[in-house]
Amino acid sequence: MNQIDKGNLGIYLVIDPSMEEDQLILALEKAVSAKPCAVQVWDNFRSQSLAPSLLCKIKSICRGVGVPILINNHPEWAELFDLEGVHFDELPTGYSVLIQNLKRLGKVIGVTVNNDLDLIRKVIIEQVDYLSFCSIFPSSTATSCELVDFDVIKKTRELTSIPIFLAGGISTENIKELEPLDFDGIAVISGVMKAQDPGKAIFDYHQQLKNLQR
C-alpha cells in the first residue's frame, strides 16, 4: 500500500518515538487494530541512531494490518526504509524538485499549514496528497503552532478538494466545535497513544466524526 485510503479517512495517528519503546509498541499495536488511515512517525527520536531499529518494528506492526507509514521531515528515510510517505512540518529548501522526486517514487506527501494562504496555495500547486492544519486548539504537543483561523480552513476548501486534516488539541469533548468546517479527518497523538485503550480511543474519535457528518 503506498497511498492513504481515501475511503478510510478519519483518524490520522501521529506517534512520538521518544516514548518508552515497550509502551510505544504496545499502544501502537492496539491503535492500529482500529485501522487509522495512516501512521506518522514524528521527528522526535531520542537518538537518530535508534531510528532504524524502531522503524523496522513500527513497519512490522503497521504492514500487518495494511496501515501506511509516513516519516516526519526525513524524505531520505522514506526511500531508505521503504515507507509510504513523508510529512513536512514546513516546506524545505528546494521543495518543488524534492516533492516531484518523491511523487515519482510513489510516496504520499503531506504538509502542515497554518494561517498563511500564500503558503497553502504553493502547496496545492505542488499537488501534495493532503494538508494538515495545526493547531486547531491549544496543545501540549503542538506548542510551535499558532491557533488556526477557521476562516482560513474554509477558504482552503474552496481552493482544493484534496484531503484536509485538522490537528492540535482535538479531543472527543471539543470535536463538536469543528462542525462548521469541511474537512476529511483529524490527526491525533496523545488522545490515542496515552489512552488506556488506544484502539477504543480511535473508535470513539471515529464515532464523533460520524456524528458531525450527519
Which domain, by its residues, includes 209?
A: 6-213
- Does residue 201 form part of some domain? yes
DSSP assignment letter at 129: S
Contacts of 4 (CB under 8 A, 6+ apart): 37, 38, 68, 85, 108, 129, 130, 163
DSSP H or E segment with residue 62: helix 51-63
Mean pLDDT along residues 163-176: 95
| DSSP symbols for 74-128 | -HHHHHHTT-SEEEESSPPTTHHHHHHHHHHTT-EEEEEE-S-HHHHHHHHHTT-
- Does residue 176 form part of some domain? yes
Mean pLDDT along residues 38-56: 96
The number of domains in the chain is: 1
- The span from the CA of 94 to the CA of 114, in Å, is 20
- Does residue 1 form part of some domain? no
95-128: per-residue pLDDT in tens?
A: 999 999 999 999 999 999 999 999 999 999 999 9
Q: What is the CATH number of the domain that holds 111?
A: 3.20.20.70
- Per-residue confidence band for 214, with pLDDT thresholds at 50, 70 and 90: low
- Does residue 130 form part of some domain? yes
- The span from the CA of 200 to the CA of 206, in Å, is 10
pLDDT at position 2 over 90: no
- The span from the CA of 5 to the CA of 109, in Å, is 14
- Does residue 114 form part of some domain? yes
Q: Is the separation of the CB atoms in 212 and 176 below 8 Å? A: yes
Task: Look up residue 129 and give its amino acid.
Answer: D
Mean pLDDT along residues 19-31: 97
pLDDT at position 16 over 90: yes
- Does residue 166 form part of some domain? yes
| pLDDT the model gives residue 127 | 96
Q: Which three cell numbers stand for residue 138?
A: 491549544
pTM metric for this prediction? 0.94
Q: Is the separation of the CB atoms in 15 and 41 below 8 Å? A: yes
119-159: per-residue pLDDT in tens?
A: 999 999 999 999 999 999 997 765 667 899 999 999 999 99
